[in-house]
Structure 1
Amino acid sequence: MDIKEVITITIKNNLLNLEKNIHEALKRSGREGDKVQIIAVTKTVGVDKINEAIELGLTNIGENRTQELVKKFDIIGNKAKYHMIGHLQTNKVKTIFDKITLVHSLDRPSLAKELNKRAKKNGIIIDTLIQVNIAEEESKFGLKIDEVIPFIEKIINYENLNVKGLMTIAPYVEDAEEARWVFRELRRLSEVIKEKDYTNVKMDILSMGMTNDYEVAIEEGSNMIRIGTGLFGQRK
């Protein structure tokens, strides 16, 4: 068996396990039949592995760094949809705005302004999620809960920017149950925003849950999870 076959079998088995756990989490939370989108996190993952994942139907890939996203886009092309899941510097928007399906990390007015400007200039709409730092960790980016609605009202007139939902990263904990409150708070916030019925703002997506806590996130309403280690194994 060659290395390519080993990679394929490993990713396939990991994906089957992931899909089984997703199904069970949906069942536990009374959401059986709902769709949970898997974003395959490809930070430091080689193109060969990514191509194998794409062959298995994992066509949504998430990158943390603009440089790595551009490099992979140039090789892989339109076989995948690219998600910017890491902190996005305003001066890097110009390198990726035309390559991305979704920005998960909208967290400040200057970034919203730049995304809208690039989109308007090129006659496109950019879909985004607002990143919320629920636990207010100093090591993470994102708006505090009470900053989100004022932020939305500040960017509401950006016609080339669509807010599709919210994203959060829970603190790393050994027991995922300890992160449940974070996901619950994000869901509550999305419900409050939905009731306000803003133009260009939908709460269709809750991007929350990673390899160590995605089952709890799904139980609390997540419909988009970001999985790296759970698909590709530990990073070297």
Structure 2
Amino acid sequence: MTQFAERITEIQQRIELACSRVGRDPKEVEVVAVTKYVDTETTKQVLESGCLHIGESRVQHAVPKWNQLGDKGTWHFIGHLQRNKAKEVVGRFEYFHALESLQLAAELEKRCAAGNHKMKCFLQVNVSGEKTKFGISPVELNDFVRSMANFSHIELVGLMTMAPNTPNREEVRPIFRELRDLQRELQRQKFAVPHLSMGMSQDFEIAIEEGATFVRLGSVLVGTSS
């Protein structure tokens, strides 16, 4: 068993324990292996070890990897995206986790329509209110979701947030819980937002306890360098 297969097995056990604590089915949780800090060969090894969701956040590094490995697994763009880089992401990445403006949504829609592509998007919500983080504020969420009805090639599939980096993991629980509450309020209004992308290496178990369906794991799974 490779080092990555061993890590995947260990992480799956931790996911199962987190789910058991709150009565969830572990099959509801997908692991996105964040490979932005490792090279193409290491990314290939991660895919071959059984982790079929790959997360990248830098266009200049992600595109060469996709060109070699794009036929393997499901690719997620998980980082901040400038509008002038949208053309590089469309057609390569099935999921985009960091939609934060209608201008970017319009650019993605235009690029998708031109190539007859579809893209599944998460709205990034800055629940914590940190100025260093991207994302819309919770009060903007309803209007933003309503505006998404204007786009036919990009599909809203959920919400995403990033919690503060703190040594006390329990401090992030209210952040994840608020995103789940925002999701439930949208669902109450009949908006289809089935997924929550939240939780990283240091806090993914808490995120799962609070409803995450996608967790983005870098250091605990892939490492931080090639």
Give the TM-score category using the shorter length: over 0.9
CA offsets 1:118-163 (integer angstroms, 9 cap, x no match)? 1122222221000011001111100111111111122321111210
Matched, 1:13 2:13: no
CA-based RMSD:
1.4
The DSSP-based 3-state class of the residue aligned with 2:150 is coil
Q: CA deviation at 1:9?
A: 2.6
Matches of 1:102 and 1:173, distance apart in 2: 28
Query: 2:205 is matched by which residue type in structure 1?
Result: E
Partner deviation per Cα, 1:102-121 (whole Å, 9 max, x = no partner): 00000001100001111122
**In structure 2, how many angstroms separate the alpha carbons of the residues matched to 1:166 and 1:26?**
20
Match of 1:150 in 2: 143
1:54 aligned residue: 47
Distance in structure 2 (CA, Å) of the matches to 1:34 and 1:70:
30
- Aligned pair partner of 1:31 in 10, 24, 47: 24
Count of residue pairs the alignment pairs up: 226
1:123 aligned onto 2:116 = yes
The correspondence of residues 149-228 of structure 1 with structure 2, limited to 5 A, is 149-198=142-191, 202-228=192-218
Q: CA deviation at 1:33?
A: 4.5
Per the alignment, residue 5 of structure 1 pairs with none
- Decide whether aligned partners of structure 1 residues 194 and 34 sit closer, same or farther in structure 2, where only a CA change above 3 A counts: same
* Unpaired runs of at least 5, structure 2: none
Match of 1:100 in 2: 93
Where structure 1 has 5 or more consecutive residues not aligned to the other structure, the ranges are: 1-7
Q: Which stretch shows the higher mean deviation, 218-227 or 149-158?
A: 149-158
Query: Cα distance, 1:48 vs. partner?
Result: 1.6
Aligned residues of 1:133 and 1:145 also touching (Cα < 8 A): yes
CA contact (8 A) 1:26 1:34 kept: no
Q: Which amino acid aligns with 1:156?
A: A
Kept in 2, the 8 Å contact 1:106–1:130? The answer is yes
1:44 alignment partner in structure 2: 37
- Structure-1 separation of matches of 2:119 and 2:2: 35
How far is the alpha carbon of 1:44 from its aligned partner?
A: 1.9
TM-score (norm 1): 0.92
SS of equivalent to 1:28: helix
For the residue of structure 1 that corresponds to 2:70, the secondary structure is helix
1:3 aligns with: none
Cα distance in 2 between the residues matched to 1:109 and 1:172 = 28
Counterpart residue type for residue 116 of structure 1? E
Q: Is the 8 A contact 2:180 2:196 kept in 1?
A: yes
What residue identity is the alignment partner of 1:223?
Answer: T
The letter for the 2-side match of 1:189 is: L
How many Å separate the matches in 1 of 2:118 and 2:48? 28
Instruction: Give distance in 2, aligned partners of 1:44 and 1:213.
Output: 19
1:178 alignment partner, SS class: helix
SS in 2 for 1:231: coil
Alignment partner of 1:22 out of 15, 18, 21 = 15
1:213 CA displacement: 0.1
